[in-house]
Structure 1
Amino acid sequence: MKMTRRGFMLKSMAGAGLLVGSGALFSACMGHGVRRDDFRNGARAFEPVPALDEDTAAILYYASLAPSGHNSQPWYIKMIDRNEFLVGADPARRLTAVDPDNREALLSIGAFLENLSIAAGCLGYEAEIKVIANSQKDEEVARVTLRKAKATDYPISRLVSRKTVKRGHLTTVIKAADIDFLSGELKGHLFYFPRDTRHANCIKEGAIEAYRSWVERDAAQKENTAWSRLSNADARKYRDGLTTEGMEIKGIAGFYVRNFVSPEDFMKPGMLKQSLQFAVDRAGEGGGWIIITGYGDGVAGLIETGRRFERMALTARERLIGLHPMTQLLEEEPGQKLIASNHVSRMNAQFVLRVGYVESYPQPVSLRRPVSWFLRT
């Protein structure tokens, strides 16, 4: 007899008590989703690229560990010669429903360029980066030239271990010393609002309303569906997007989603209600909120903001601080109105982050495309 999804879920939940009693058996039965480390080639974290020398391939791999909305990885590389290339915004990877002006894509490319600069330094190169785009819709964003230089001692492990942390934020207020540590070069552009303060509560409620608007907007949900890689087969095929591991859907729930849920199911009322409840629950966690403002206008300002954000994000693990962008506050009309009505016009908010201490830092699992997939020769 063919079992329906509902029937499977009921039987699975009924048997959950038996599985929980044996952690090893539970893990063996449920398995896990595809993770970044599943693609390691022995000690090598990245796959060789025949068209590139090993150093350039490594630099571009580390650059690609930058965060991006929906894990869309909106960049491409076009080689000019051996040590010079263009970094572009791939139009096929635009999030037109939630990021029509390419603001978030350029912030992500800024983070990509920061990782690139750091990785180049670690491998004995200096990366000269020149922003060449005149508008946010231009495809070619920056020109990069690599020159041999003395290697830096920056811990490249920071690039590998950076992770967006969605769950498990403690409600402890972040210490002033830790906020100062995170601020680094963001001083004057990073604003922390401790939980339960008036401003933090305003941001929390605004984030929930903005998320509700996102859930109710059909175009946004279709785009979210298009970037969902729920099955392990799709995760391996595309190596981008929203996977169960990346969304932190684990255990029996993760097994069920990977095997019995399609991306289109996420647009059904029941799933949308669960998604909204997830956002409500997460907004109630953590030690407060951080707003990061921009560095000037236009493409260059967005690139610089993305670079400085990444410098901060790379250090968060050292203080056991989880960062979770809740970008709907800047994407959806209710959130935009909230920001405009509560801040002076010169406060150009570019990131809204839920922030909180975590008891232990999870390992990064979100997938990355091989360098050869985003290389244009």
Structure 2
Amino acid sequence: MNNRRNFMKGAMAAGLAFTAGPLLTACASNPQAFRRETLPDNCLPFLDGPEQEILHLASLAPSGHNSQPWRVRVAGPGRWIVEADPARRLPAVDPENRELLLSLGAFVENFSLAAGALGFRVEAETIAEGRGDRDIVRISLIPDRRQPFPVELMRLRRTVKTGQASREISSRDIKALFQHMDGLAHYFSCGSQHASCIRDATVEAFRAQSFRDDAQEELVRWLRLSNRSVKEHRDGLTVAGMEISGMTGWYLRNFGKPEVFLKKSFREQGADLAAKTAAEGAGWIIITSRGDSVSDLMETGRRFERMALEARALGIGIHPMTQVLEEATGQDAIAASHGRPMHLQFVLRVGYVEKYPKPVSPRRSLPSFVRGPGAV
């Protein structure tokens, strides 16, 4: 009995470790899976089919704890406002809404690419003056010639936390990944001094955050362990999303309690497993921005999403490990190793994946985040 209990505890701690990197996080055989090929439960009489498809594809963008912090207000024909949903903020790990705005940038990039593929041109203007504003981006959707783009990549993109190979990413693939980054992305192979610094700082930050009660309580609030919880909320961190399968996954879906993840033993084991995970993969990608304004963060989120879609096409897994940017010592440790001030926005563990897993994170239906003309 003790062996079984210890096994379950270790497996659940692994799930806690694999929530590392709230930014960024189904398959038909999994009861928690949601198909991305179709529009789930969508019925918006004030939008036509292509517009609904654009919004669905946009909603496949990554977000912290899979909180999906976007709302869309249709201001009129072809006029849209992308909002930040205050109920979906993460004040413990993202008090200044940095990660929220990066996620909204990824949402807008998916929106723009999907619109182009369906015969629209998008004009997006950042209208927020501060990080706490509700209205973030004004979008104009204008009929135009189709701009071919493999939107299937949006359906297939996901965070990959396990199974990253250690072989170095080729210079050709790095060039492809960075083609839209404008010099703001940097790759460090796993044997380099920079990679070691990033790994060590990441592990230290993860351990610190594991024992910060407000951060862990916030994480637990976004856990969706049971199938009923997943279907009810269609957001958050699921058993499948934490890559817990087999008997342990079954146990968690049927008997798991989110508050169990707050126990000291789980935190300790989760931190140890995060250290092991940080040592895997081909190396690290750091993404910076030119500044920290709302516009800078939105643009960086858009660049990241374009890179993430390219990574999926190349069979490269991405695992954001953002604790290093959320804890007080993390940014200082990485910036100090570069010898100059940097606006760090993403810390990504990367590596080739032999068999890319199918996406498993749920998404909300359009009526839950899209409001029609006249809505306040």
TM-score (norm: length of structure 2): 0.89
Which of 208, 212, 215 lines up with 2:210 in the alignment? 215
Is structure 2 residue 327 aligned with structure 1 residue 332?
yes
Cα RMSD of the aligned pairs, angstroms, is 1.8
Question: Equivalent of 1:35, from 17, 26, 33?
Answer: 33
Is 1:282 aligned with 2:280? no
2:189 to 188, 191, 194: 194
Shift of 1:246: 0.8
- The structure 2 residue matched to 1:131, chosen from 126, 131, 145, is 126
Distance of 2:258 and 2:38 partners within structure 1: 32
Write 1 or 2 for the structure with the bigger share of helix.
1
Contact 1:244–1:257 (8 Å) recurs in 2? yes
Residue 253 of structure 1 deviates from its aligned partner by: 1.4
Alpha-carbon distance in structure 2 between the residues aligned to 1:371 and 1:344 = 46
The residue number in structure 2 matching 1:237 is 232
Instruction: State the 1:10 CA deviation.
Output: 5.5
2:243 to 236, 245, 248: 248
Q: Secondary structure at the match of 2:180?
A: helix
How far residue 261 of structure 1 moved from its aligned partner, in angstroms, is 1.5
Change over 3 Å in CA distance of 1:213–1:148 after alignment to 2: same
Per-residue deviation, 1:341: 2.1
Alpha-carbon distance, 1:372 to partner: 0.7
CA distance in 2, matches of 1:95, 1:9: 34
Q: Is the 8 A contact 1:64 1:368 kept in 2?
A: yes
> How many Å apart are 1:82 and its aligned residue?
2.6
The one-letter amino acid paired with 2:186 is: F
Residue 44 in structure 1 maps to residue 38 in structure 2 = yes
Does 269-278 or 145-154 show the bigger shift?
A: 269-278
Query: 2:168 aligned to 162, 170, 173, which one?
Result: 173
What corresponds to 1:155 in structure 2? 150
Match of 1:24 in 2: none
- For 1:357, the aligned partner's letter is Y
TM superposition shift of 1:368: 0.4
Measure the CA separation in 2 of the matches of 1:203 and 1:297: 21
| Change beyond 3 A, Cα 1:360–1:140 | same
Q: What's the secondary structure of 2:179's corresponding residue?
A: helix
Counterpart check, 1:108 vs 2:103? yes
Name the structure 2 match of 1:318. 313
Matches of 1:35 and 1:251, distance apart in 2 = 15
Mapped partners of 2:183, 2:296: distance in 1: 15
**Partner SS state of residue 318, structure 2:** strand
Task: Name the SS of the counterpart of 1:62 in structure 2.
Answer: helix
SS in 1 for 2:96: coil
User: Secondary structure in 2 aligned to 1:99?
Assistant: coil
Structure-2 residue corresponding to 1:26 = none
Deviations 1:110-136 (A, max 9, x none): 000000001111111111111000011
Q: C-alpha deviations, 1:253-304, integer Å up to 9, x for none?
A: 1111112221101001122123212211210100111101114330000000
CA distance in 2, matches of 1:12, 1:177: 42
CA separation of 1:33/1:220 partners in 2, compared to 1, >3 Å: closer, same or farther? Answer: farther
> Structure 2: where are the runs of 5+ without partners?
9-28
Larger radius of gyration: 1
Asked whether the equivalents of residues 34 and 232 of structure 1 are also in contact (C-alpha less than 8 Å), the reply is: yes
- Equivalent position amino acid for 1:36 in 2: F
Query: Aligned to 1:307, which of 302, 311, 328?
Result: 302
The change in CA–CA distance for 1:260 and 1:197 in structure 2 (over 3 A counts) is same
Is 1:99 paired with 2:82? no
Worse-matched range after superposition: 45-54 or 284-293: 45-54
For 2:363 and 2:116, locate their aligned partners in 1 and report how far apart those are by CA, in whole Å: 22
Q: CA 1:7–1:209 in 2, change beyond 3 Å: closer, same or farther?
A: closer
In structure 2, relative to structure 1, the CA distance for the partners of 1:360 and 1:133 (3 Å cut) is: same
Provide the secondary structure at the position in 1 that maps to 2:38: coil
8 A Cα contact 1:287 1:355, kept in partner: yes
SS of the residue corresponding to residue 138 of structure 2 reads strand
- Once the 2 structures are TM-superposed, how far is the Cα of residue 334 of structure 1 from its aligned partner? 2.2
Question: Deviation of residue 9 (structure 1)?
Answer: 4.2
* Separation in 2, partners of 1:300, 1:353: 22
Give the TM-score normalised by the residue count of structure 1. 0.89
Distance 1:197 1:208 in 2: 17
8 Å Cα contact 2:292/2:343 also seen in 1: no
Q: Give the Cα separation in 2 of the matches to 1:49 and 1:185.
A: 35
Structure 1 runs (4+) greater than 4 angstroms displaced: 6-13
- Which secondary structure state, in structure 1, belongs to the residue aligned with residue 188 of structure 2? strand
> What residue in structure 1 maps to residue 135 of structure 2?
140
